[in-house]
């Protein structure tokens, strides 16, 4: 144990010793952070896609829609998680170049990255990525287009539910829309360091 550690902790104890009592942890229940317009339980995926579109996400319902999006943008070179590729390969015409390993030395060569999400949050339109669930952190981040593939059973109704179910994983990322900034004169620009197009593909 370092001396600095003990020094800091001793100072903390000394600072707090004169307090006659310590502030208790407040009790609060879920209603406190419940949104007013909370949807009645029902089609949480419909709610997710509505919220996801509201934060400029691109909802996709099928492999065919995914390929149409990529063709429209002229995004033909990309990465796909090897575990997802067998299910998607059939949708991709021969003109596409899709790799199943991400070579960081050629980071600028990838127009899109397709990786698995481990969940979604309906209330906020959020996708949940994780370290173990994502085949390559860089492939989910560096290309202009990121496609997160979600399964129907992975939805949480709201933030509280998602927090209660945080997986045991060293790096969980909640993604709510494309990367963005308003640093220059408050003008919104998408695609700063991360994807300029954030898509979610629901695969049943």
Partner 1 sequence: MATQLIDRFAADLPPDKRASVYQSTKATHEKRTKLLFDHFADPNHLRATAGEIKQHVIENLDTYLPIVEAKLAANGAKVHWAATAESACATVLGIMKARGATKMVKAKTMVSEEIGLAEYLGKHGIEALETDLGEFIVQIDHDHPSHIVRPIIHKNRREIARSFEREGLGDYNDDPGTITRRARKFLRHKYLAADVGLTGANFVSVESGRIVLVTNEGNSRFSLAAPKVHIALVGIEKLVPRDRDLGVLLNLLARSATAQQLTVYTEFISGPRAAGQPDGPEEMHVVFVDNGRTEVLASECREILRCIRCGACLNVCPIYRQASGHAYRSVYPGPVGAVLSPLLAGKQFPELADLPKASSLCGACQEVCPVNIPIPDLLLRLRARGKAEGAPRAAVASPPMGAWALLASQPAAWKAALLGGRLLNVLPTKFIPVPALRAWEEKRTLPAWQGGRFRQWMRERRKS
Tell me which of 71, 73, 169, 203 binds partner 1, using CB under 8 A. Answer: 169
By CB under 8 A, the residues from 172 to 191 that bind partner 1 are: 172-187, 189, 191
Restricted to residues 69-88, the positions that interact with partner 1 (CB under 8 A) are none
Nearer to partner 1, 108 or 153 (CB): 108
CB atoms within 10 A of CB 10: 10
Of the candidate residues 13, 40, 42, 93, the single one contacting partner 1 (CB under 8 A): 13
58 closest CA partner among 175, 164, 168, 154: 175
Query: What is the footprint of partner 1 within residues 49-68 (CB under 8 A)?
Result: 55
Rounded Cα distance, 149 and 62, in Å:
10
* Count of residues that interact with partner 1, criterion CB under 8 A: 71
Residues in 95-154 at the binding interface with partner 1, rule: CB under 8 A: 102, 104, 107-108, 124, 126, 131-132, 135-138, 141-142
d(CA 194, CA 103): 17
CB 54, min distance to partner 1, A = 9
Say if residues 89 and 123 touch (Cβ distance below 8 Å): no
- Residue 81's alpha-carbon distances to 16, 42, 70, 196, 197, in angstroms, are 52, 31, 17, 20, 18
Minimum Å gap between C-beta 88 and partner 1 is 20
């Amino acid at each position: 144990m370092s001396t600095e550690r003990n020094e800091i902790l001793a100072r903390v104890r000394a600072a707090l010793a004169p307090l006659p009592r310590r502030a208790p942890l407040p009790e609060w229940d879920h209603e406190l952070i419940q949104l007013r317009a909370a949807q009645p339980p029902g089609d949480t995926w419909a709610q997710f896609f509505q919220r996801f579109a509201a934060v400029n996400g691109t909802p996709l319902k099928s492999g065919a829609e995914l390929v149409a999006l990529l063709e429209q943008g002229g995004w033909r070179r990309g990465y796909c998680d090897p575990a997802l590729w067998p299910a998607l390969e059939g949708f991709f015409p021969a003109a596409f170049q899709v790799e199943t390993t991400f070579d960081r030395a050629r980071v600028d060569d990838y127009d899109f990255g397709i990786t698995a999400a481990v969940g979604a949050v309906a209330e906020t339109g959020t996708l949940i990525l994780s370290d173990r669930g994502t085949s390559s952190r860089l492939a989910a981040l560096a290309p202009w287009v990121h496609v997160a593939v979600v399964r129907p059973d992975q939805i949480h109704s709201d933030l509280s539910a998602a927090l209660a179910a945080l997986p045991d994983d060293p790096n969980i990322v909640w993604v709510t829309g494309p990367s963005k900034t308003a640093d220059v004169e408050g003008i919104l620009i998408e695609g700063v360091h991360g994807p300029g197009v954030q898509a979610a593909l629901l695969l049943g």
